[in-house]
Amino acid sequence: MIYLDNAATTLRKPPEVIQAVVNAMNQMGNSARGTHDEALAASRIIYETRELLSDLFGCPRPDHVIFTSNSTEALNTAIYGMISQGDHVISTDMEHNSVLRPLYRLEREREVSLSFVPADEGGTICYEEFERQITPRTRAIVCTHGSNLTGNLVDLVRVGEIAKKHKLLFIVDASQTAGVFPIDMEKMHIDVLCFTGHKSLFGPQGTGGMCVRPGLDIVPLKVGGSGVRTYEKIHPKELPVGLEAGTLNGHGIAGLGAGVRFIKDTGMEMIRRHEEKLARVFYEEVCQIPGIQVYGDFQADCRAPIVALNLKDYDSSEVSDELAQGYSIATRPGAHCAPRMHQALGTVEQGAVRFSFSWFNTIEEVHTAIRAMKELSQ
Ligand SMILES: Cc1ncc(COP(=O)(O)O)c(C=O)c1O
């Protein structure tokens, strides 16, 4: 099987990741729940993973790397924990439902008003719009680093400057870019960076987290066991425990740490160049096939390794099923949890077939996928 659905989750993981999970399952006690060797081993592995991630994302303090079960939980925590009654929030048409639905919920529950920077039919946004949308009640900009549908990127330095200038919170969804594109929280003025572990960080599913700028006050989504200050009725505030009630996914976090180590050892740039090359070769060929329409901005220097397309007016699910059954190629059709992006592209009815590439894909696989699309078009 040729797996080209890496934007959903990376199926192929470095062997080190699998080994780290197996080792953890054999050796790990419960972190911060005792001082025996096994509990200490868990604490050590988890702290090392915090250090690796804080270094990767330019987070000023490893203890401000918070583990969650995925980026959805991280985004919910950041959005619910910092946006108050009557606030105004700016987001974009490029967002995933993990950003949109928490915002829509706040619209209903806390009378939060929302503005969206529109995307054009190529899926790109106009940066001037961020400033135009600011009102005296604006509290935050919440935006993605990379669209999971088109692969278009957002210039975080530019948006971060706007957020800083207007003293707005800047919450970023790095689900599609973490581990592939350089992210520096300080340079980009990011207050909370949300990431998922199971995509380009090569960790297991059930891992993810958020990097929090020191000094921010985030109301936790959940409270409970913390291993410290047991007799207090209020969950401790200090991070990371303040946002991590309950036993952590230590086994998964061990795998995530191995994934980040693999990226560092291999070189993020090396990984990015390989993935970009695969996506570029695929794009250059398929965009010439009669009847194929590709979505997104391919003039951009930098883009996530995603190519979304449609074949004539076939439903995207039919094409994706044909690729799976006739060619053993895994892609993702449909709406990709990105309703506003599909509305902007005009693909609500048809959806789109998304091909997404990773380090473990080869150029031969790309050529097979190109041949498959040529045959299907005929
Ligand atoms: C841009 C973006 N944001 C958020 C998410 C949610 O990630 P998870 O399901 O791991 O929480 C995804 C996953 O597809 C995504 O692509």
pLDDT in tens, the chain (378 residues): 999 999 999 999 999 999 999 999 999 999 888 889 999 999 999 999 999 999 999 999 999 999 999 999 999 999 999 999 999 999 999 999 999 999 999 999 999 999 999 999 999 999 999 999 999 999 999 999 999 999 999 999 999 999 999 999 999 999 999 999 999 999 999 999 999 999 999 999 999 999 999 999 999 999 999 988 999 999 999 999 999 999 999 999 999 999 999 999 999 999 999 999 999 999 999 999 999 999 999 999 899 999 999 999 999 999 999 999 999 999 999 999 999 999 999 999 999 999 999 999 999 999 999 999 999 999
* β-strand partners of 310: 293
Q: Can you read off the two tokens belonging to residue 246?
A: 């309950």
Residue 22, phi then psi, degrees to nearest 5: -60, -45
Ligand 1, atom 12, residue with closest C-alpha? 175
Q: How far is the CA of 288 from the centre of ligand 1 (A)?
A: 30
DSSP for 239-273 reads TTGGG--S---HHHHHHHHHHHHHHHHH-HHHHHH
Atom of ligand 1 nearest to the CA of 336: 14
Q: Distance between CA atoms of 236 and 66, rounded to whole angstroms?
A: 14
Q: How far is the CA of 37 from the centre of ligand 1 (A)?
A: 36
Atom of ligand 1 nearest to the CA of 148: 16
Q: How far is the CA of 160 from the centre of ligand 1 (A)?
A: 21
Atom of ligand 1 nearest to the CA of 8: 14
Is the CB of residue 175 below 6 angstroms from any atom belonging to ligand 1?
yes
* β-strand partners of 138: 88
For 28, residues 6+ apart whose C-beta sits below 8 A from its C-beta are 38, 41, 42, 45, 250, 251, 254
Atom of ligand 1 nearest to the CA of 198: 10
**pTM for the complete prediction?**
0.98
Is the CB of residue 77 below 6 angstroms from any atom belonging to ligand 1?
no
Best residue among 6, 96, 101 to mutate for probing ligand 1's pocket (most ligand atoms within 8 Å of CB) is: 96
Atom of ligand 1 nearest to the CA of 196: 10
Q: Distance between CA atoms of 126 and 133, rounded to whole angstroms?
A: 12
Q: What separation, in Å, do the N-terminal and C-terminal C-alpha atoms of the chain show?
A: 23
Q: Can you read off the two tokens belonging to residue 365?
A: 């696989």
Best residue among 9, 11, 72 to mutate for probing ligand 1's pocket (most ligand atoms within 8 Å of CB) is: 72
Q: How far is the CA of 203 from the centre of ligand 1 (A)?
A: 14
Q: Distance between CA atoms of 55 and 46, rounded to whole angstroms?
A: 14
The tens digit of pLDDT for each residue in 149-198 reads 999 999 999 999 999 999 999 999 999 999 999 999 999 999 999 999 99
Is the CB of residue 196 below 6 angstroms from any atom belonging to ligand 1?
yes
Host H or E run for residue 309: strand 306-311
DSSP for 273-322 reads HHHHHHHHHHHHHHTTSTTEEEES-SSSS---SEEEEEETT--HHHHHHH
Q: Is 154 helix (H, G, I), strand (E, B) or coil?
A: coil
Q: How far is the CA of 177 from the centre of ligand 1 (A)?
A: 11
Cβ atoms of 331 and 323 closer than 8 Å: yes
Tokens 């980026």 -> residue: 71
CATH number of 2-10+267-377: 3.90.1150.10
Is the CB of residue 249 below 6 angstroms from any atom belonging to ligand 1?
no
Is the CB of residue 96 below 6 angstroms from any atom belonging to ligand 1?
yes
Q: Does a cis peptide bond (omega within 30 degrees of 0) precede residue 240?
A: yes
Q: How far is the CA of 72 from the centre of ligand 1 (A)?
A: 6
Choose which CATH entry (1.10.12.10, 3.40.190.10, 2.60.40.1510, 3.40.640.10) describes domain 15-266. Answer: 3.40.640.10
The tens digit of pLDDT for each residue in 86-123 reads 999 999 999 999 999 999 999 999 999 999 999 999 99
Q: Distance between CA atoms of 252 and 21, rounded to whole angstroms?
A: 6
Is the CB of residue 6 below 6 angstroms from any atom belonging to ligand 1?
no
Q: Distance between CA atoms of 263 and 17, rounded to whole angstroms?
A: 11
Best residue among 337, 340, 342 to mutate for probing ligand 1's pocket (most ligand atoms within 8 Å of CB) is: 337
Is the CB of residue 71 below 6 angstroms from any atom belonging to ligand 1?
yes
Is the CB of residue 54 below 6 angstroms from any atom belonging to ligand 1?
no
Is the CB of residue 98 below 6 angstroms from any atom belonging to ligand 1?
yes
Q: Do domains 2-10+267-377 and 15-266 have the same CATH topology?
A: no
Q: What does the domain layout of the chain look like in residue ranges?
A: 2-10+267-377, 15-266
Ligand 1, atom 15, residue with closest C-alpha? 175
